[in-house]
Amino acid sequence: MTERYSTLVVNRDICTGCRACEVACSLAHEGCFWPEKSRVQVYKQEADGVDYPVVCRQCDEPACMEACPAEALKRNPKTGAILVVEENCVSCGACVDACPYEGARLLEGEDKPLICDLCGGEPSCVQRCVVHALKYRNVSGQVITAPVQAITLPQEKLR
């Protein structure tokens, strides 16, 4: 049996495009409001109402880990999240090129890639996604969401 990993579950159809996930991620990792450095990035086509959170999928067989020449990517033993071992990383960008989902980014002027680490098992982005376009499925298969759910489409009660 293969090992089970936790992951973020993305539903692009209901994403509001607010980018609260980006702000939360940057606050958790950088200690300030810094969407550019967020591990999750919301791509948009405003004219078509497309809002698409892009983030590491924590693949079962990660192309990034395979591509890394320096053993700088390893799994968090608790969550299975792919972590960057900074002292090993040689900033070659092979992981970024290998990822088919644009889940890893290497910013201009920075030397380490940005990859979602699932905040050690309590993803901060999920807590601010009130429409539940981002959910967290942990190793035991439990699904965790924001503490509230905004009703976004009509229900009988409202009519």
Partner 1 sequence: MRKGVLHVNIQGGYAGTILKVDLTDGRVAKEALGDEIKSYLGGRGLNIRKLFSLVDHHTDPLSPQNPLLFSAGPLAGTMFPGGARFNVSAKSPHTGILGDANAGGFFGPELKFAGYDQLIISGRSVKPVYLLITDDRVEIRPADHLWGRDVWETQKALQEELKDSRIQVACIGPAAENGVTFAGVFANLVRTAARTGMGTVMGAKNLKAVVVRGRGCIPIHDRERFQDLLNRIDEKIYAHSDYQARAMMGTTKLVNALNKFGCLATRHFLAGDFAGADAVSGEELAAQLKVKSKACFACTIPCSRFFRIPSGPYAGLASEGPEFEGLAGFSSRVGCDDLGFALQGVDDCNRLGMDVITASECVSFVMECYAEGLLSRDELDGLEPHWGDQHAVRELLRKIVYREGIGNLLARGVRHAARELGRGTEKLAMHIKGLEVFQADPRGLKGYALGFALASRGGDHLRSEPSFEFSNDPDEGMRRYGAKESAFRLEYKGKGRLVKHYEEWSALSDCLSACKNTIVNMEIINFEEGAELLQSLSGIPFTGEGVQQACERVLNLERAFIVREGIRRSDDTLPERFLKEPLPGEHPSKGSVVELEAMLDEYYEARGWDLNTGIPTRETLIRLGLEDVVGELLAARVPVV
CB-based contact 78:89 (threshold 8 Å): no
Distance from C-alpha of 117 to C-alpha of 131, rounded to nearest angstrom: 22
**Torsion, Cα of 76, 109, 123, 152 (10° steps):** -140
Whichever of 23 and 81 has its CB closer to partner 1, that residue is 23
CB of 33 to partner 1, least distance (A): 4
CB of 20 to partner 1, least distance (A): 4
- Sequence-ordered list of residues with C-beta below 8 angstroms from that of 135, at least 6 positions apart, any chain: 8, 9, 11, 126, 129, 143, 144, 145
Whichever of 67 and 131 has its CB closer to partner 1, that residue is 131
Whichever of 54 and 65 has its CB closer to partner 1, that residue is 54
CB of 60 to partner 1, least distance (A): 30
Query: Residues in the site for partner 1, rule: CB under 8 A?
Result: 13-20, 23-24, 26-27, 30-37, 43-49, 51, 107-110, 128, 130-131, 147-148, 150-154, 158-159
CB of 148 to partner 1, least distance (A): 4
Closest CA to 109 of 91, 83, 87, 95: 91
Whichever of 62 and 103 has its CB closer to partner 1, that residue is 103
